[in-house]
């Protein structure tokens, strides 16, 4: 069986839309929202986003990560600017995309990366599974942004009070102790098994065992992604940086972990 290799080119993606008269490069110079943007427009949008770097202008992974953390701080402070959310910007992306980061996170409805990092349409490429559980098919989705679209940053994001990790911890602990768990109509046997390595890695850690398991799962996922066939060479060459974080539901802040 042959393998299809897809490799993007950021410069080509940024200029393709020009054929439709909506060149992405020129759009970058416009206000964040137009007067007909279906929300904040014109001068109001420019004032709101003043001093906020455009994620699309950033090339370095460290700068992109800092911009995401700055956006997260705005989110936590209730001062999100919601960039790249107007009609003009949406139309400029019809012919191509150039996300600056890929984010792998949980399906939890309270943890939407586009919102908690205060980013807009086309800024980040997000893959979500319960508890960031990851298998070969999922890994191909996660690696698409960096490998095919040249996004230089990949973020693995766990979160406080993760239901999938909590359920897995309870099930694995009960099995270890030989106790019975209350049965639920919704079963997660494959998710539980996929999270077993994080459960084992978190043993002996101080503090809340579920919190320790959440962190362990992020760190194990980072290592798995760094060694993925689509990403290993990019990581080795310094073209891709993989970082991890845990989101607090209580504060709204992402804490980097290593």
Annotated binding site: 106, 108, 159, 162
Binding residues for Zn(2+): 106, 108, 159, 162
Which among 125, 79, 122 has a CA at the least distance from the CA of 104? Answer: 125
Whether the CB-CB separation of 123 and 81 falls below 8 Å is answered with: no
3-state secondary structure of 52: coil
- Cα distances from 43 to residues 36, 40, 48, 50, 54, in angstroms, run 12, 9, 9, 10, 17
The secondary element (H helix, E strand) that includes residue 173 is helix 163-177
Which among 106, 141, 144, 99 has a CA at the least distance from the CA of 124? Answer: 99
- Alpha-carbon distance 226 to 229, whole Å? 9
Half-sphere exposure at residue 105, Cβ-oriented, CA atoms within 13 angstroms: 26
Which among 87, 85, 91 has a CA at the least distance from the CA of 114? Answer: 85
């Amino acid at each position: 069986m042959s393998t299809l290799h897809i490799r993007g080119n950021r410069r080509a993606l940024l200029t393709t839309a020009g054929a439709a008269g909506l060149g992405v490069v020129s759009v970058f110079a416009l206000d964040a929202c137009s007067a007909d943007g279906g929300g904040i427009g014109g001068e109001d949008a420019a004032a709101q986003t003043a001093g906020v770097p455009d994620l699309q202008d950033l090339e370095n992974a460290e700068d992109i990560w800092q911009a995401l953390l700055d956006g997260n701080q705005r989110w936590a402070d209730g001062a999100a600017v919601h960039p790249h959310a107007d009609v003009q910007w949406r139309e400029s992306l019809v012919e191509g995309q150039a996300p600056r980061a890929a984010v792998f996170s949980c399906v939890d409805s309270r943890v939407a990366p586009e919102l908690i990092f205060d980013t807009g349409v086309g800024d980040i490429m997000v893959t979500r599974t319960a508890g960031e559980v990851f298998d070969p098919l999922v890994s191909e989705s996660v690696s698409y942004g960096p490998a095919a679209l040249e996004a230089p940053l990949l973020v693995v994001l766990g979160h406080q009070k993760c239901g999938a990790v909590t359920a897995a911890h309870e099930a694995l602990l009960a099995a270890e102790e030989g106790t019975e768990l209350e049965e639920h109509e919704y079963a997660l046997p494959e998710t539980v098994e996929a999270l077993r390595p994080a459960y084992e890695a978190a043993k002996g850690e101080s503090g809340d065992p579920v919190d320790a398991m959440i962190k362990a799962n992020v760190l194990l996922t980072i290592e798995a992604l760094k060694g993925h066939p689509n990403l290993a060479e990019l990581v080795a060459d310094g073209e891709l940086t993989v970082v991890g974080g845990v989101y607090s539901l209580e504060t709204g802040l992402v804490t980097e972990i290593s």
